[in-house]
Homo-oligomer: A and B are copies of this chain.
Amino acid sequence: MTTSAAARQGTPAGYRILNEADLRDTLAATPAVAERLGGPADRWTITEVGDGNLNLVFIVKGAAGGLAVKQALPYVRLVGESWPLPLSRAHYEHLALTQQGRLAPGLVPAIVHHDHALALTAMELLEPHIIMRKGLVAGTVYPGFVGHITTFMARTLFFSSDLALPAAEKKEAIASFAGNHALCKITEDLIFTDPYRVAEQNRWTSPWLDATAAEIRADLDLHVAISRLKLKFLSSAEALIHGDLHTGSIMVTDTETKVIDPEFAFYGPMGFDVGAVIANLLMAYFASAGHERAPGDRAAFEGWVLSTVDRVWTEFADKFVALWRGEAAGDAYPVSLFPGEPGAARLEIERQAYMARLFQDAVGFTAAKIIRRILGLAHNIDFELIEDPKQRATCEARSLRLARTLMLETGSFTSIAAVTKAARESRHWQPEF
């Protein structure tokens, strides 16, 4: 690394960007890691997989097993040194992963080793898991996904909220993630601001979406709506959120689901994580038409995606409320205020009202996550791999049509069925290009 970048970010003493030889020596000197890999260190294979946007990611394999080793760089890998990003994100990712592992056992990779100075974490190698987004592009259905992701969200969000944590513990937890603001700022800018104004980094499928992008940049009601969502993101410290819970942060097999890459984690609004999952499923749904080999050959897949959207909300809400009924140990909604049968019944009504408010947040954030992936800096392979740009633009335009409605008329979407119905309607809408 350059010293200037290091100095700018307050790089810890001992930090250096690891090459293969250096990584081998470092891992060999760490007994827990060496034991896990097994055999002589000089026989380990090390491959830098090179597909991280932010970090170096190495796959290391030995006689006894494999590891994924992630090292943060003092800048955004995809862009280079011109976009510095603090190494402290490795600390927050490790902290989040540790807590998620405790709250949602088996749903995140196990940590084998963390080196603070090197901003490096060695984790269980997920094999034969693939990035879920790639599977969705291929039209693969994941029957176990809904169960896993709703357990992950319900448990990580509930147990870090005021419903589960005493207030003192929650305040300390908020503080422990407050330093992760550089990563939050990326979200604040790229999701909640740039797609709605002229910004150098924006891009979209031109010229087909030029008019829509311009409309969105001029739609002041939409700008009010996204600003309200941004304010919620800035000031609602509801729970420890993953902060980047799209289908590229989820690895799957037929039977397993693992949530990875929580470096954007902080205490924020729960609806942001729920909206991220729903938005990325909806984009997989809209992109599917662009991956057809014959008309209608992905109909079953598309049906599965929409039913998954439905179940993501429904099962998440059921699990969250069940935890609230059984494991509330926090300072919010003290049970002593709801005594006896009538109290229990009234609290149950309020739980449903609470979930209805959370659903509204999720609908708004769903819309925000769709718009940013089509008009902002970071795009999805769901759309990007559609080779015909006009076909891609059609799929994107349908997504944007739904997203605008979700954001402008959030209050009219009082159930997930209303969202999937609107998605189905947009799926067959033909934009006039």
Contact = CB atoms under 8 A, between A and B. Distances in A.
B168 A224 contact: no
Interface string A365-398: 0000000000000000000000000000000000
B162 A193 contact: no
A181 B185 contact: no
B170 A337 contact: no
B334 A220 contact: no
A175 B167 contact: no
Interface stretch (A43-51, A147-155, A229-237): A229-237
A350 B227 contact: yes
- Chain copies in the assembled complex: 2
Interface residues of A, number: 46
A367 B6 CA distance: 53
A167 B179 contact: no
A338 interface: yes
A197 B235 contact: no
Contacts of A332: 227, 230-231, 234-235
A155 to B, nearest CB: 18
A338 B220 contact: yes
A181 B193 contact: no
Contacts of A174: 174-175, 178, 237
Contacts of A304: none
Contacts of A171: 178-179, 181, 184, 266
Interface string A228-253: 00110011111000000000000000
Most B CB contacts (10 A, CB to CB) among A235, A236, A333, A342 go to A235
Contacts of A220: 338, 342-343, 346
Interface in A184-207: 184-185, 188, 193, 196-197
A407 interface: no
Given A220-B342, A236-B236, A181 B188 contact: no
A223 interface: yes
Contacts of A175: 174-175, 178-179
